């Protein structure tokens, strides 16, 4: 460009005249090119000295202390979130496995009897042929005698699973498909009728739950237990201890036992069936 004259800038210089207290004055002449070189060298040396100080001395810890604290806090948050994600992933895998077992239990419970070709048949046959256990349970003795003498009776007999008072009745219109017995945590829960345990595990909404398949296409369900004493594929007798009542699961507001009876895939009112 015409207005930009490089030769003029190279020849440009400026004067510095210090204001001394005495009468003598002296001016210093500096060319623009030399001044630019001096400023560049001074800046370069200053940056090298600063980098050396930050690299060798601990002064960097005092300069960047706030940044380091923020980085540490963010790293801790990231580690915490990663731990939560891993826990949620494990819980989802557990729930998925539980759901698969529940589906299998429902399929298994649809059948009224077990085929002789099923490997479970030998186990059940062995357990059924065992002698009565002498435990002083008069109810069990009469129940076993009744089953032996009237096993051809198509009617299914159910007893109360716990010794408690019904605090919420059967109300399918509101989604309550069973009855709630008000009992203390740790109260014994008994099998309402004899049969095979088709599900015994923890679920997110109903807590520790156990399902028993009975004759004549009946299923009983026991929810919100504190602990389960029977495992899947175990055969239980009527009145046998199967769990302890509790307050587990999301859908609960206090210690109780939620008890359901299903017949051919439909819920029925347990109060109309169970005998005291």
Q: Are residues 263 and 142 in the same domain?
A: yes
Q: What is the pLDDT of residue 137?
A: 59
The pLDDT, as a whole number, for residue 113 is 44
Q: Tokens representing 264?
A: 């051919």
Range of the domain at 18: 6-59
Same domain? For 120 and 193 the reply is: yes
Residue 10, domain member (yes or no) = yes
**Count: domains in the chain:** 2
Which residue among 16, 42, 59 closes a domain? 59
49 and 119 within one domain: no
Domain of 139, CATH number, reads: 2.70.70.10
User: pTM (2 decimals)?
Assistant: 0.51
* Domain's final residue, options 40, 59, 78: 59
Most confident of 55-64, 65-74, 84-93, 133-142: 84-93
Q: Is residue 235 part of a domain?
A: yes
Residue that is last in its domain, among 59, 81, 101: 59
Poorest-pLDDT segment among 40-49, 179-188, 194-203, 220-229: 40-49
Tell me how far apart the alpha carbons of residues 17 and 12 are, in angstroms, rounded to a whole number: 17
Same domain, 171 and 264: yes
Give the burial class of 168: count Cβ atoms within 10 A of its Cβ; 0-12 exposed, 13-18 middle, 19 or more buried: middle
Q: How far is the C-alpha of 196 from the C-alpha of 72, rounded, in Å? A: 56
User: Mean per-residue pLDDT for 109-133?
Assistant: 46
């Amino acid at each position: 460009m015409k207005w930009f004259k490089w030769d003029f800038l190279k020849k440009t210089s400026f004067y510095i005249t210090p204001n001394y207290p005495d009468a003598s004055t002296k001016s210093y002449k500096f060319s623009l090119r030399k001044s630019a070189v001096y400023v560049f060298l001074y800046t370069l040396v200053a940056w090298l000295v600063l980098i050396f100080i930050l690299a060798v001395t601990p002064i960097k810890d005092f300069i960047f202390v706030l940044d380091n604290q923020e980085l540490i806090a963010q790293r801790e948050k990231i580690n915490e979130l990663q731990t939560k994600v891993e826990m949620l992933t494990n819980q989802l895998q557990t729930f998925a496995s539980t759901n698969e077992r529940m589906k299998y239990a429902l399929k298994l419970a649809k059948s009224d009897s077990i085929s002789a070709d099923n490997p479970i048949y030998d186990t059940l046959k062995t357990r059924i042929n065992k002698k009565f256990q002498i435990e002083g349970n008069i109810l069990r003795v009469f129940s076993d005698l009744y089953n032996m003498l009237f096993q051809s009776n198509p009617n299914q007999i159910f007893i109360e699973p716990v010794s408690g008072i019904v605090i919420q009745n059967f109300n399918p219109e509101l989604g309550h498909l069973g009855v709630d017995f008000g009992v203390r945590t740790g109260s014994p829960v008994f099998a309402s009728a004899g049969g095979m345990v088709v599900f015994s595990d923890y679920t997110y909404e109903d807590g520790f739950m156990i399902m028993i398949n009975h004759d004549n296409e009946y299923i009983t369900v026991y929810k919100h237990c504190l602990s389960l004493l029977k495992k899947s594929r175990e055969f239980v007798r009527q009145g046998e201890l199967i769990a302890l009542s509790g307050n587990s699961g999301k859908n609960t507001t206090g210690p109780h036992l939620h008890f359901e009876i299903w017949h051919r895939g439909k819920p029925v009112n347990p109060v109309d069936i169970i005998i005291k």
